[in-house]
Amino acid sequence: MWKINLKENNPPLDVALATIEIEIEKAKFTNEVAVKVLHGYGSHGKGGIILIETRKLLEKLKKQKKIKDFLFGDKWNCFDDKTKKLFLKDKSLIDDEDLNKNNPGITIIIL
């Protein structure tokens, strides 16, 4: 799975959102089925601005049909229907380190 680690460099919001859009296009070009964004969940678990704005961006991209869907880290588990459908497209996703971890600091983008 293609990964975007926004926590690593802690970019400003505009750079983070632009990075997501660019990396989605790169992942599509390589025929990936999903992209994992590591954005963190904000200080003290209250929800950081990058998490909030990433979700808004993904809603917009879904409406524009630039992505198929997305799911939050707490839904990234073996019991979620969207996750199961992704496994059918790429069985290697079963080995993802964040699967079944209820991690609010990630979002999975379905391409």
pLDDT at 22: 98
Give the containing element (helix H, strand E) for 108: strand 106-110
pLDDT along the chain (111 residues), means of 10: 91 95 97 95 69 96 98 95 96 96 95 97
Q: Are 42 and 48 in contact, with CB atoms under 8 Å apart? A: yes
Domain annotation for the chain: domains and CATH numbers: 2-110 (3.30.1370.110)
pLDDT at 47: 53
Q: How many residues does the chain have?
A: 111
pLDDT at 43: 62
pLDDT at 7: 87
